Structures are given as structure tokens and as C-alpha cells.
Structure 1
Amino acid sequence: MTRTVITGLGVAAPNGLGHENHWKSVLAGSTGIAPVTGFDASGYPAALAGQIDDFVDAEHIPSRLLPQTDRSTRLGLAAADWAFDDAGVEIGDLTDYQMGVVTSNALGGFDFTHREFRNLWNQGPAYVSVYESFAWFYAVNTGQISIRHKMRGPSAALVGEQAAGLDALGHARRTVRGGTPLVVAGGVDSAFDPWGYVSQLAGGLVTREGDPARGYLPFDAAASGYVPGEGGAMLVVEDADNARARGARQIYGELTGYAAGFDPAPGSDRGPALGRTARSAIADAGLTPADIDVVFADGAGVPHLDAAEAEAITALFGARGVPVTVPKALTGRLYGGGGPLDVATALLAIRDGVVPPTHGLSGPPEAYGIDLVRDEARELPLRHALVLARGRHGFNSAVVLTAFDS
């Protein structure tokens, strides 16, 4: 069986650009959640977001690409560049058909599209950018990354809201196992123009809390919803033999398990699929629940969803049977970028032997029965990490990451 490893991390997160900056922020409890700054949100029922304030587009993206890309694509292009640099990949290392791209995206190019809509309504069709034909599309990140890096191998774009980022990594593993030596995979999302923001509020799960320190409280007794965020991560996924042969700078870990599931229809007598999905991912890795050292939970911050996830975790591991953490409490939920960012964070946790804390919580209800790591990092030898993600309307995904033994 081909061993699939992760050799490069490219992170664009509200609390840090670059994986090391993000990791330092996670350990220190530095949040990227703040009041919305891109427009006047005083008339909206919510006011918080996980925004990336230190990403200057023109500093990271070639000028020829700026007119044809939405912010989400620019973040994706930059994150892919950083992942390649981190992995020490030179475009000449492999031929074009030996490299693929798999990305996830849930929101598309909101800012770009709505700017062109305004041009259409106010000035007429002659003022609509020709790039509107693709800049809005959820698959454009895969296309732009593949063009920029001359990657013509098997590629895909996946949509499954918060769960799709893990699906992208699972699909990348399948692609590597199918014979493609290297795939860049992950996801980003961004939709913080006025229309994009209100579209996220329409689902009814975004918190109305105005205090950034109290906005997103996964598994907390005071949880009132989530905070939407922007960004995500791109990762270089490779065949282990290829990584060693080209002299990869490091191998962060092995992607040993993956599974996806889908919740039954409302009113069904069957329970949510998350527990079954997690168990399947662990079995796919050739492990048992007793082997898992830490769970990076989905952590919706919505009471009934948190309770359902806690029930799935305790059913699998027993009450307080495994450390649980939700570092995305510092960034907000990033939709297609959320799972890949959790995977990048989990790999750094394995590297450094530390479970990052979930900051700012007063504590979970006793009935949840989970060992939630709060406020202070917990030093532990970590070999196997389980990452969970759920998307709206029933999507569930899970991956298992394992420390790599050469």
C-alpha cells in the first residue's frame, strides 16, 4: 500500500499568516476574531468575524492575476505557494502530469461577483468584467493553482461546507495511491462583503454575541453559535517514496485514515453519522479508538450540535477517554478551509508533542463528558490524531494523522 505523507503546510488564518505564526498564536491564545471591519455592519444582527487583516493582496499575488481573482482565490494561491516552499518542491522536480490539485470551497467568489453585479445594475453589461465568467466559481481555486504551477495531473474541486476540506485531503490520498506522486490539497473560503456576510447569517447558526472574547465558544455552557471566518490551508500530499527520493525537507505526518458519511434525513430513527464516520476513519488507518491520542473536534459552537458531537466522542472513546481540542475557537469556522487548517494544526501538535488548548471557555456542561483541553496547552507524546468536521445539511468527514516512521 502506498504511504501518503504531508510534506508542506501553507496557512492563511485570521490569527497568523504562515503555519509557524498560526501555531504560535494558537498556543498563546491570540485570536483573529473581531468586529467586522470591511463595511458598516451596525445594521446587521451579528457583528463578528475571523478576518485576515495582514494579507496585502499585491504583496503575494502577481499583478496580472489581481483583476481576475476573488479574495478567496488570492488566499488559496498564496497558501499553495507557501506549502510548496515549505515542502521544498521545485516545479522542475516533477513533470506536469505527475502533479495534481484538489481544493474545497463552499462560498465561491462572493466579493468579485457582487462587485460585478453592481457594475451591471449601475452601468450596464459592458462594464462587467470578462473574468466574471469564472472568478465566482467554487472550482476556480483548483484551476488557478494548477495553471500557476503547471500541474496537469488528476485534479478536483469539492463542495461540502465545513466537511469538504477533509474530503479534499481524502481525495488527494486516493489520487496519490492511484499513481500521482504529488497533490496539493486543502481549501480556503472568504465572503466578507456585505452580501457575503448576510448570506452566512441567513443559516441562523451565527452568534449574535458582540464581544469577540465571548463570540465563539465550542462545547461551552454559554455557546450561542459560531463566528464565520476566512482563510484556510493548503498542504502538499505525496507518496512517501517520492518525498524521500526528492529530498523533502520534512515529513509532518502520514495520512493514514479517512472516511466520509452523511446524516439521515430529519425525522429518521437513525442517529447522526459522525460517530460512524470517525470509527470508519480509525479502522481505515488500521487502528482502534484506544490508539487515538487527541481529537481535533468540529466544535460547532451551537448547543445541540455540540451535544451531538460530544455524544459521538464519548460513545467512541468513553467518558473523558481522550483529550479534545477546538483551536478554531481563535479563528472562527472557515467552511472549506476549516478542515485543512485543523489538519495543519494537528500535524504541528504531533511534531511538538503538545495538545493546543481551546481558549476562552468557562467549561463544557458536565453532561457532555469530554476531556476538553482548555486555556493551557497539554504536553503529551502524540502519535495518532483524529480530526473531525461537519458541514451543513448532513456532511461528515474524519481523517487520522500519524507520526511518520521512515
Structure 2
Amino acid sequence: MSTSSPVRAVVTGLSAVTPGGLGIESYWKSLLTGENGISEVSHFDSTRYPARLAGKIKDFEARDHLPSRLLPQTDVSTRYALVTADWALADAGVGPDSGLDDYALGVVTSTAQGGFDFTHREFQKLWSEGPEYVSVYESFAWFYAVNTGQISIRNAMRGPSAALVGEQAGGLDAVGHARRTVRRGTRLVLSGGVDSALDPWGFASQLAGGLVSTVADPDRAYLPFDTDASGYVPGEGGALLVVEDAASARERGAERIYGEIAGYAATFDPAPGSGRPPALGRAAELALADAGLTPADISVVFADGAGVPELDRAEADAISRLFGRRGVPVTAPKALIGRLCAGGGPSDLAAALLALRDQVIPATGRTTSVPDAYGLDLVTDEPREAALSAALVLARGRHGFNSAVVLTTA
């Protein structure tokens, strides 16, 4: 039996396209300065909708970043994913001249909504003009695996690849699977999640869940763990990470290592009415055990931060049970950009890695008043400088998905 240590999966490249900015450093700056990326929906007339706010990506012109042949065949979410992939690979110094075999490069992404805008536009053509007017690209542009496929084709990444769907938890699941893929022998996997569904039908489908805030003030609509929490605000975008075998990264002379994906776990909540508790806390415990760490080793928690009182209360309980009352700094910076579905977890992973790099914890949006019963040391108002060596990132998807990732400095 081999006694060799498991392959270390490290992050050598990052990028993000979010309502906070285009590119990883713009996104990070927006979190540290508290810039609010939430504003009124402008993609369509939303005056008759009960909620009218969203985290919107600004100043993104796909034609400035992608060849014209790709535009007719891609949904807006896929365009975000392709550009984010280009930037993440460039950040990692991975390109045609890297000397990496195509079959040593994989892609694992998550999307919860697929190509909503594209497919709804084609449905409208079908109903109003007839089937002969529907784009032939409708056959795949809507599909949940399309981001993985398009990134793979564009970058000649022919190694083991996958697509996962777990709503808000799916992005962490994708990164967890990427880590597993690297440990099984693939040298490098591009992973994360990107979502966008801010067309009229896509937005309506998000409102139908009943958890979206109807507060009209962008500064008060999404307040995780606040006494005035009233729901969340949907958003678009996400982040992608280059996950790499640490030895391979050293061999090719990777310019930087942001950190190590030291632990990962996923759980599923018991059936409603079972009397059993939610399983988010169990996911955190399993991720810590997978990393070989104890709660005392964690420097900061990036919380799921649903902004729904009963969900916030359940998450606060899970955190305080594991770490003790106010036992660890907690933050939910996604309050500044909205919940990005599959893009939310990876965006938090990117922020956590930058927090480890810069030794600073971003604040939790506009949250100011945290119930004492939550027992949380929530970072509010201003970023907090701290000695950071390990971060726990949590995510929950609709209908019971829970995921947790532990990041450490490399």
C-alpha cells in the first residue's frame, strides 16, 4: 500500500465577472470599498414585478472579448464564462505555449439556470414567427453543460470534464470535483460557476421561489444576518479558478499560488417535517476533517448569508455550534453583488483566497444590526485586518444542497 501523501490541489489562477467589477482585482476592490453592485433591473420593464432589484454586470461588451462567430451561438451567461475562463487562464500563465498536454487539462463548471435569456428569446420566435425562425444553436445553448463544453473547445482542454447542478451550492461542488479530478491525476482543471437569468422570464422564475426581497432601496434590500433581513437579491456572474497539482505548478514555474483547496464536503438536508436538523453544519465538519483541521485552525468563515431570517438563523446556529459563540470572524460579502446562484460560491472562494493573500476580511455589505441570539462575530461596516491562514466557505442550494470548502495558504 502506498504511503505517499495525497496530491495537493492548489489555485494558480483566478478571475471573476461580477456586479462588483470585471476581473478579479476590480471585484476585490469593490468588496473592500463597499461598492454596491445592486440596482434596479434595466434589461426590461420591471415596473409590474413585485421585486425590481438585481446585481447587474455593467460595462461588459461581449464583442470586445470574443470572436464574432461565438456571439450567435451563446447565451449571455456563456459569454461571461468564456471571458472569465480566458482571464483566469491568463492569470495562471496557462496558454498554448505552456507545454501542458491537451488531455491533461480539464473543465468542471456549474450553472443553475442554463442559457435562460437565449432559450426564452428562441421560444418567443417559435411562438410568434414559427419553428423555421428558431436558431439551430438552441439545441445546446440552453444546456447546463454548455459552459464546460464551450470553454473546453475554445481552450483545447480535452481532459476529464464535467458539469454540476446544485443551485447556490453547485459552484463549490464543481470546485470540489475539480480537486478530486486533480488528485486522480489530471494536472490542471479550470473550475467554478457562472449564472445569469435577468431576462423577464428568468427573473420571474427567481421571484417565484418566494425568497427574494421586495424592498426597493438597494442599500436595504439584501441584509444577511441583519434584524431587518427580508430576503435576497438575485445577481449574475461568477468566478473561475485554475485548480492545479501543486507539483505540476512548480514544474511549469507557475507565477503564484493563491492557496490550497484543503478540504471539501457536501451534504443534503433531511426531508421537511422529519424533525432532523439541517445538514450545513455537518458539511462544515466534514470539510474540516477532510482538511485535517480543527475549528480552531479556521481564521474566517465566508457564510452562505441567505438574507432570509429563518435561513440566517439556521446558518448562525451551525456556525456557533461548530466554533462557539462569536468564536470566529464571519462575513458575507455577496450582499454587495446579490446571490449569483452557481456563481456565488466560486465568487466567495475567490474573495476568500484574496483575503488570505492580503490578510483582510471584507465586510458584509450594508448589514449593521445582528441579533445577539445569532452569536456571530460578523464583520460589518469596514474591512477587518486579521492574521488569516485558513478560510471556510459555505453555500446552500434550494431544496437541501449544502457544500463547504476549506482553503489554506499554500
Same fold (TM over 0.5): yes
Q: How far apart, CA to CA, are the structure 1 residues paired with 2:333 and 2:252?
A: 33
Name which of structure 1's ranges 241-250 and 165-174 shifts more when overlaid on structure 2: 241-250
Question: Is 1:230 aligned with 2:236?
Answer: yes
Of 391, 396, 404 in structure 2, the residue corresponding to residue 390 of structure 1 is 396
Structure 1's consecutive aligned runs of 4 or more residues displaced over 4 angstroms after TM superposition are: none
Offset at 1:90? Answer: 1.6
Counterpart of 1:202, as a letter, is A
Query: 2:11, 2:243 within 8 Å by CA — same for their partners in 1?
Result: yes
Secondary structure at 2:68 match in 1? coil
Q: In the alignment, residue 14 of structure 1 is paired with which amino acid?
A: P
Query: Paired residue for 1:326?
Result: 332
Q: Structure 2 residue aligned with 1:108, among 111, 114, 130?
A: 114
The letter of the residue matching 2:292 is: G
* Pairing 1:70–2:75 present: yes
Write the letter of the residue equivalent to 1:66: L
Query: How much has 1:304 moved relative to structure 2?
Result: 0.1
User: What TM-score results when the alignment is normalised by the length of structure 2?
Assistant: 0.98
- The DSSP-based 3-state class of the residue aligned with 2:373 is helix
1:21 has 2:26 as partner: yes
CA distance in 1, matches of 2:371, 2:171: 29
Q: Given the alignment, which residue of 306, 310, 316 partners 1:310?
A: 316
Equivalents in 1 of 2:220, 2:198: separation in Å?
Answer: 21
Quick check: 1:207 aligned with 2:188?
no
Q: Which residue of 2 aligns with 1:363?
A: 369
Paired residue for 2:275?
A: 269
Instruction: Report what 1:160 is aligned to.
Output: 166
2:397 is aligned with 1:381? no
Deviations 1:247-278 (A, max 9, x none): 11100000000000000000112100000100
Give the CA RMSD over aligned residues. 0.6
Matching of residue 89 in structure 1 with residue 89 in structure 2: no
Q: Which whole-Å CA distance do the structure 2 matches of 1:377 and 1:187 have between them?
A: 26
Q: TM-score, normalised by structure 1?
A: 0.99
Match of 1:57 in 2: 62
Task: Judge conservation of contact 2:50–2:214 (CA < 8 Å) in 1.
Answer: yes
- Asked if 1:140 corresponds to 2:142, the answer is no
Residue 289 in structure 1 maps to residue 295 in structure 2? yes
Q: In structure 2, what is the Cα distance between the partners aligned to 1:383 and 1:361?
A: 25
| Amino acid across the alignment from 1:5 | V
Deviations 1:201-251 (A, max 9, x none): 000000000100001000000000000000000110000011111111100
Q: 1:39 aligns with which of 41, 44, 68?
A: 44
Aligned residues: 404
Which residue number in structure 1 is paired with residue 262 of structure 2? 256
Task: Trace 1:158-197 onto structure 2 (pairs within 5 A).
Answer: 158-197=164-203
Q: Secondary structure at the match of 1:91?
A: coil
What letter is aligned with 2:81? G
Alpha carbons 2:334, 2:365 under 8 Å: kept: no
- Which stretches in structure 2 are left out of the alignment for 5+ residues? 1-5
Is the aligned partner of 1:339 residue 2:345? Answer: yes
Q: State the 1:381 CA deviation.
A: 1.2
Q: Which residue identity does 2:86 align to in structure 1?
A: D
C-alpha contact (below 8 Å) 2:32/2:362 kept by paired residues? yes
- Deviations 1:301-350, CA, capped at 9 Å, x for gaps: 00000000000000000000000000000000000000000000000000
